Amino acid sequence: MKVTINDVAKLAGVSMKTVSRVMNNEPSVRKKTYDIVMEAVNELKYQPNLAARSLAGTKSFTIGLVYDNPNAYYVLDMQKGILSRCKEEGYELLIHPCSGSDDMMLEELATMVKRARISGLILTPPLSERPDVIEMLDQLSVNYVRILSGCESSSEQTDCIYVNDRDASFAITEHLISLGHQHIAFLSGDKEHKSTLERLAGYKEALSKNGIAVDESLVIDGQYSFESGVTNAKQLLADNKDVSAIFACNDEIAAGALFAARLMSIKIPQQLSIAGFEDNPFSRQTWPKLTTAHQSIDTIAQHAAKLLFAKTRGTRNQDKDLRKMFTPELVVRDSTGAQE
């Protein structure tokens, strides 16, 4: 027989309304009462009907993940992190990819927000970086949390999770310089991503700090894809014989560059060092494995969800454990070595 909210209330010795308040994570519930009810919930293995719960009242128990990002590994890790928090908080997750022209995408997003009756949204780059999207959501009075590339600033909204790509990029470039490399190329990702600009800025800062002039001919525009890495690395290495290291804007580009080098019979890392960014599976599936910057997307996603739940409850200023800045960490592997 299915366990009901009435069964939980009887076991806990409280009213059904109190059980409902606990399951809704209302901040006014005393800790002692919360613990008693949750002990009954766990003992009975009670699973609330989230859809019915949302329909029964004015509060929604669904949040949305909205993305316009071609990186499947990034999206999957983001989903995993948010779902883990949703399970703890008793929420459902609606996953909504956005595509098409700007006007069509805005209309699609607005329609989804109105129809789905969501409690809030988590926005990932590059969607989270678009002023027109933020303006529309503000007009609709929708709760949201943005994941952004950059450093926390008083001029930005407080409801953001920041990824410090610039400092991580600086560390990767300095690592290559420490190995004796002076001619270091940069293979860019899509320029509409702020992460591309932040990683490029970190690369240039590291060169300048170490007295190496920035050679703009070694900064190659591209996309966040394996194919872009192959094409641009082939052209770069054919035209620039002095290049001894490549810093690619992500691991897919780096894997493509490594593939191109192999086709050109260039030894890695003896003749050419290659580094990526993000530490996604591409970095561990190549040979040799890629030096990169580890970006814990799962953890970032969990904190974004936690911040959104705190915002919807009006308690975001009370939770001191809400971390808002993450800096990817350098991971040194066999694709980089001292210049011979």
Determine the average pLDDT of the residues in 176-194.
95
Q: What pLDDT band is residue 157 in, cutting at 50, 70 and 90?
A: low
For the beta carbon of residue 121, count every other beta carbon within 10 angstroms: 26
* Both structure tokens of 336: 């980089």
Does residue 2 contact residue 45 with C-beta atoms inside 8 Å? no
Q: What is the pLDDT of residue 68?
A: 85
Q: What is the pLDDT of residue 49?
A: 57
β-sheet bridge partners, residue 248: 187
The answer to whether residue 58 scores a pLDDT higher than 50 is: no
What is the CATH number for 79?
A: 3.40.50.2300
- Based on the domain organization, do 155 and 223 belong to the same domain? no
The reply to whether 335 falls in a domain is: no
What is the CATH number for 30?
A: 1.10.260.40
- Based on the domain organization, do 185 and 272 belong to the same domain? yes
- Based on the domain organization, do 284 and 180 belong to the same domain? yes
Q: What is the pLDDT of residue 283?
A: 92
The reply to whether 337 falls in a domain is: no
Q: Is 83 helix (H, G, I), strand (E, B) or coil?
A: helix
Inter-axis angle of helices 31-44 and 5-12, nearest 10: 120
- Based on the domain organization, do 88 and 236 belong to the same domain? no
- Based on the domain organization, do 142 and 30 belong to the same domain? no
Which one is predicted more confidently, 144 or 104?
Answer: 144
The reply to whether 333 falls in a domain is: no
Q: Is 30 helix (H, G, I), strand (E, B) or coil?
A: coil
Q: What is the pLDDT of residue 142?
A: 87
Residue 50 dihedral angles phi and psi, to the nearest 5°: -65, -40
Strands 325-326, 160-163: pairing is: parallel
The reply to whether 197 falls in a domain is: yes
The reply to whether 181 falls in a domain is: yes
| Residue 121 lies in domain | 62-163+297-326
Q: What is the pLDDT of residue 25?
A: 64
Which one is predicted more confidently, 158 or 169?
Answer: 169
- Based on the domain organization, do 128 and 248 belong to the same domain? no
- Based on the domain organization, do 151 and 255 belong to the same domain? no
For the ranges 67-81, 177-191, 320-334, the maximum mean pLDDT occurs at 177-191
The reply to whether 54 falls in a domain is: no
Please enumerate in sequence order all residues whose Cβ is within 8 A of that of 250, keeping only pairs 6 or more positions apart, or say none: 71, 189, 224, 276, 277, 278, 280
Say how far apart CA 41 and CA 11 lie, in whole Å.
9
Q: Which of 23-27, 63-67, 121-125, 170-174 has the lowest mean pLDDT?
A: 23-27
Q: Please report the sign of the dihedral spanned by the C-alpha atoms of residue 287, residue 327, residue 300, residue 199.
A: negative
Domains held by the chain: number: 3
For the beta carbon of residue 270, count every other beta carbon within 10 angstroms: 11
The reply to whether 336 falls in a domain is: no
Q: What pLDDT band is residue 101 in, cutting at 50, 70 and 90?
A: low
Tell me the average pLDDT of the chain: 87
Q: What is the pLDDT of residue 245?
A: 98
Q: Is 306 exposed, middle or buried (0-12, 13-18, 19+ CB in 10 A)?
A: buried
* pTM of the model as a whole: 0.80
Which one is predicted more confidently, 184 or 192?
Answer: 184
Does residue 233 contact residue 295 with C-beta atoms inside 8 Å? no
The answer to whether residue 57 scores a pLDDT higher than 50 is: no
The answer to whether residue 206 scores a pLDDT higher than 90 is: yes
Which one is predicted more confidently, 268 or 241?
Answer: 268
- Based on the domain organization, do 258 and 303 belong to the same domain? no
- Based on the domain organization, do 191 and 283 belong to the same domain? yes
Say how far apart CA 268 and CA 290 lie, in whole Å.
10
- Based on the domain organization, do 15 and 95 belong to the same domain? no
- Based on the domain organization, do 82 and 174 belong to the same domain? no
Q: What pLDDT band is residue 55 in, cutting at 50, 70 and 90?
A: very low
Q: Which of 46-55, 84-93, 107-116, 149-158 has the lowest mean pLDDT?
A: 46-55
- Based on the domain organization, do 137 and 88 belong to the same domain? yes
DSSP states of 163-175? E-HHHHHHHHHHH
pLDDT tens per residue, range 306-328: 999 888 877 655 555 566 889 99
